[in-house]
Chains A and B, each alone.
Chain A
Amino acid sequence: MKNIFVIFKREYLTRVKNKTFIIMTFLAPLLMVGFYAATIYIATETGDDDRTKTVYVSDNNPELLLSHNPPANYVLLPAPSDSDSALAHVERGLVHAWLNVEDRDLRSVDSATYYTSETPSITEKETLKEWIRNKATQRQFARLGLREGQIDSLQSSCNLATKEVTGQGDVKESSSGLKSGIGFALAFMIYIFIFVYGSMVMRSAMEEKTNRIVEVIVSSVKPFDLMMGKILGVAAVGLTQFVAWIVLAVGLVFGISALFLNSGNGTTTREAVQTGIEARNGMGGMDTGSGTSSGAAVSMGGDMSAQGSGMTSGARDMAAEFTEPLSNLPYFQILAVFLLFFIGGYLLYSSFFAAIGSAVNQESDVQQFMMPVTLPLVFGFVIAQTVALKAPHGAMAKLFSMIPLTSPIVMVVRAPFGVPLSELALSFGLLVLTFVLMVWLSGRIYRIGILSYGKKPTWKDLWKWLR
């Protein structure tokens, strides 16, 4: 036990005292914020095709299409009467395209053709389609004798509020978007942490083997203790970084709110923070709610809090929707599930990584063994993004939150939606059992692997070492 601690101490201190680690701990969040900010900026500001496009429209009734406002960045011109010269103009680049609407009375627009010299993007195609459809719809309404104002009033809207009935007879505000956002962000964090710190364990085992340090060490430490000390030491490094980020994030939020306070715009610190939080969660909720559940979008929401006070009033309204649900979240359960499954998942996967690191003689031999280890992890993440977010209480989500190789990721996505304690206990129990079994098996590979030099190991060798 003492030796596990000596190994743990070395693994932890050499990493934490490393300048790169210290710099990256402070720089990584800034880099991440910068990265997402750049992505958002590019996507919103520069992602669109902002060229002005001159398009011929075959429209024999100028009232119908040409008289209406064209879509943004489009200049519409009546097309020449013969199709050959229209096509020739497109070909010579005199105009960007020729939009030929077959049904020129716009009674039932079921076909229109867009001739261009370059393949239009999906956005361009959708913009035009939507524009024609709108015009046709308006035309149909007009035929029925409805004015534009009446048309708008006919468009119904529905705001479906969700409330959660809790066991204590309470009814609480709930927000699916918010929960999805939080669950997904946590799952993403576990996914990244397992990869980053798992590889760290692997490289550490490889370093000891290739630098021939290991034989001296195993003459005083059991290989299993060496492996455990290493896995736990690196886990502590991960947790340290995690805590540092939380402290940093809280510091940033308070720092920024203090700035607002000093600038004298009348907003109190508390309000500024509140706005930041609301806006942040509003963003996260919006993104996941609309089905574009990409990690970037969710994290973006979280990282935008600094810009909270600069949000539009629309976003502010939406943010307000999350105020109560935010305070109703089962924080303790979410945090407990996150920590337990993060530790369980990390321990399970890092034991695989350790076994691989001990078996190979050089970095280039790693690839052949990595696939079966990373596949379930990636698969779990895909399940988390799709099934678990769409139907957190569905059969598939339940199944994969029980299988120990995917449960660390899938369960945290489900956690904010409320998972019965019995399910949590069963899933965690299975994870711990598998972890114990796998650490034991990996320890057997490790024990022989670290002292085996020479030829590149094969799966057959690993199997032999296991027995």
Chain B
Amino acid sequence: MNKVIEAINVCKTFGEQRVSKNIDLAVSQGNIYGLLGPNGAGKTTLIRMLSTITQPDSGEILFKGEPLKEIHAQQMGYMPEERGLYKKMTVADQLLFFAELRGLSTKDAKASVKHWLQRLDMMDWARKKVEEISKGMAQKVQFVSCVLHNPQLLILDEPFSGFDPVNADLIKDLIIELKNQGTSIIFSTHRMDNVESLCDHLAIIHQGEKVLDGGVSDIRRKYAKGIYEVGYYQSVQWNAGMSAAGESTLISEQQQSDGKVVYRFQTSESFTPEQLLKLAMGKGNLVHFSEHVPSIHEIFVDTVSKTAEPKTGVPIPDKLEKSNLITI
């Protein structure tokens, strides 16, 4: 697939601090690329380099195969984490200004502004000053200001921060629509809830380094560790050494809000999911059986804590103490 933007071995240093260390990434056309990382990981610095605001100290950034130049910024839309609008300008004038800044002629800019205002049902607000409209409305204006010029690459830094759930859903739908039209999107966040549903590909940045990179489904598959869940509407008794065919280890028991009790087992190579299913069916009225694939959140916490100081690590299932485990 065509690569819209590609960073090769990019480094950036501020004073003594290395904020980007040998970062490689590539965003394909029509893909949503999730850039994850805790606060201060260096995401914004990387994004500023990709959007031509700053230049890397070393390494190379290519836009559609060409070395990145300022002129390419006109094919990009950028919504920074910290964002604002001119309070005294009207919605229409403001959007017109941003469209012209992104290289549209006045005529095209006017047409685009009209199209987007109609699309979001905001025509009645066009002549209002930003200080006179609601915050939710201003958030929509903010988003529109980044996509008016039909960019090939849209960079969204924490796009949902400060958005109410209704507007967040609206923006999410717009992002998917843009992706379907072939726009590539870099989506930076430290909140995982939207990543799984939106992103095709993700990279985790931590302390200026890329610590994980790959397709979202590939990564989740890679992190699946043969853990299966079985659930009943009542508690069941598990006895050790019940199976002759191999062994599985009960690693957690959880009472869910819908009344289900879910048991999580770590299977081994000699104990197949089919065997576990058979065993579980014999235990009572089985209502739930599934493989547990770790969420992006779990993978993120796992990855970040592995590279962080030992004390800050968050315990994850495979680190549970052995004494609490029942093997069946």
Residue numbers of A with Cβ under 8 A of B are 2-3, 6-7, 9-10, 13-14, 18, 207, 211-213, 215-222, 451, 453
Contacts and interface: CB of A to CB of B under 8 A. Distances in A.
A6 B70 contact: no
Interface stretch (B84-92, B202-210, B222-230, B240-248): B84-92
Given A3-B101, A6-B100, A222-B70, A213 B84 contact: yes
A215 B84 CA distance: 9
B53 A451 contact: yes
A216 B83 contact: yes
Given A2-B103, A220-B103, A451-B48, 16 more contacts: A10-B89, A14-B86, A207-B86, A212-B80, A212-B84, A215-B53, A215-B78, A215-B82, A215-B83, A216-B78, A216-B80, A216-B98, A217-B101, A219-B51, A219-B80, A222-B70
Interface string B25-58: 0000000000000000000000010011100000
B79 interface: yes
Given A6-B97, A219-B78, A211 B51 contact: no
Contacts of A213: 83-86
Contacts of A10: 89, 97
B84 A218 contact: no
9 contacts: A13-B93, A18-B88, A211-B85, A212-B83, A216-B80, A220-B102, A220-B103, A221-B101, A222-B70
Nearest to B97: A10
Interface of B: 48, 51-53, 70, 73-74, 76, 78-80, 82-89, 93, 97-98, 100-103, 145-146
Given A6-B97, A14-B89, A215 B80 contact: yes
Q: Which of A18, A217, A453 is most buried by chain B, counting CB atoms within 10 A of its CB?
A: A217
Nearest to A6: B100
Contacts of A453: 82
Nearest to A226: B101
Given A215-B53, A451-B53, A220 B101 contact: yes
A14 B85 CA distance: 14
Contacts of B70: 222
A211 B86 contact: yes
B84 A211 contact: yes
A6 B104 CA distance: 11
A226 to B, nearest CB: 10
B186 to A, nearest CB: 13
Contact of A216 (B52, B87, B103, B145): B145
B129 to A, nearest CB: 11
A453 B84 CA distance: 14
A54 B299 CA distance: 100
Nearest to B78: A219
Contacts of A222: 70
A192 to B, nearest CB: 24
A361 to B, nearest CB: 12
Contacts of B73: 219-220
List of 6 A-B pairs having minimum Cβ-Cβ separation, nearest first: A211-B84, A212-B84, A215-B80, A212-B82, A219-B78, A219-B51
A463 to B, nearest CB: 14
A458 to B, nearest CB: 15
Contacts of A218: 53
Contact of A219 (B53, B89, B97): B53
Nearest to B142: A216
A451 B93 CA distance: 24
B100 A211 contact: no
Nearest to B52: A219
Contacts of A216: 78-80, 83, 98, 145-146
Contacts of B48: 451
A212 B142 CA distance: 12
A10 B86 CA distance: 11
Nearest to A14: B89
A249 to B, nearest CB: 30
Contacts of B93: 13-14
Contacts of A215: 53, 78, 80, 82-83
B5 to A, nearest CB: 14
A211 B82 CA distance: 9
Nearest to B105: A2
